[in-house]
Amino acid sequence: MTVHIGAAPGDIAETVLMPGDPLRAEWAAQTFLQDAVCVNRVRGMLGYTGTYKGNRVTIQGSGMGMPSLSIYANELIRDYGAKTLIRIGSCGGMQAHVGIRDVILAMAASTLSTPSRGIFKELNFAPCADYGLLRAAEAAAQSRDVACHVGGIYSSDVFYDERPDLNEQMTRHGILGVEMEAAELYILAARHGARALAVLTVSDHLQTGEALPSDQRERSFGDMVEIALEAAFPA
């Protein structure tokens, strides 16, 4: 048991999927895992452990934003021994060729700031995904016929953005989408020798203003969970 996770030692698997929304953790565990058991309810940030094709896996909510994700990822890695952490979440599209419902595999995550800024100070550390997970996730997306883009994303600290100029620069520099968690996950994985990847579904688009209707979100979210599970446990 840690400050924010009530699971007993051994209740958390070495492989952890991390959606922002705890109710999505519950849904994904009930939909895709066998014998899923709730291992965390502290602050309603639900976590479940079960198996996928015989492999033990935990699905633990991270909350929204890097400070929240940082708390859970730190405790999962340092106290429970998590070795592979895959964020599954939504993002806003930032390129014309990236469509709603497409999947983005975040190869690198640019930021203005992360909770790790105090360590790096003036250094611009480049948070990047684990290459083996990235490659396996791309293969899983291709075999499922899911439109998938691999490239840089932007991990922002704000959803209600007041810096349209910065978004323009991100788009100009080829950034595929914006979300709020991946960069800190990549940094923590690097610091502690773990593997990390963010698998993202484009739920809205900054240029076109399109947004995924709520009834279609679940289906797209399911593709993303399966891609993440197949990446963690390639056949």
Based on the shown chain and the rule CB under 6 A, indicate whether residue 92 belongs to the binding site for ligand HPA: yes
Based on the shown chain and the rule CB under 6 A, indicate whether residue 66 belongs to the binding site for ligand HPA: no
Q: Which of 79, 157, 204, 215 is catalytic?
A: 204
Buried b (16+ CB within 10 A) or exposed e, 46-80: bbbbbebeeeebbbbbbbebbebbbbbbbbbbebb
Based on the shown chain and the rule CB under 6 A, indicate whether residue 176 belongs to the binding site for ligand HPA: no
For 168, what's the count of Cα atoms within 13 Å in the CB-facing half-sphere?
A: 4
Instruction: Determine the interface stretch with ligand HPA among 68-76, 80-88, 104-112, 174-182 (rule: CB under 6 A).
Output: 174-182
Task: Write the CA distances from 173 to 20, 66, 130, 162, integer angstroms.
Answer: 27, 23, 22, 19
- Shortest spacing between CB 10 and ligand HPA, in angstroms: 33
* 3-class DSSP state of 114: coil
Contacts (CB under 6 A) with ligand HPA, residues 182-211: 203-204
**CB-nearer residue toward ligand HPA: 148 or 206:** 206
Q: Is 204 a catalytic residue?
A: yes
Q: Closest CB to ligand HPA belongs to which residue?
A: 92
Based on the shown chain and the rule CB under 6 A, indicate whether residue 114 belongs to the binding site for ligand HPA: no
Nearest Cα to Cα of residue 36 among 60, 19, 14: 60
* 3-class DSSP state of 74: helix
Contacts (CB under 6 A) with ligand HPA, residues 130-159: 156, 159
Report the residue count for the chain.
Answer: 235
Query: What is the binding site for ligand HPA (CB under 6 A)?
Result: 90-92, 156, 159, 178-180, 203-204
- Report, as residue numbers or ranges, the catalytic residues: 204
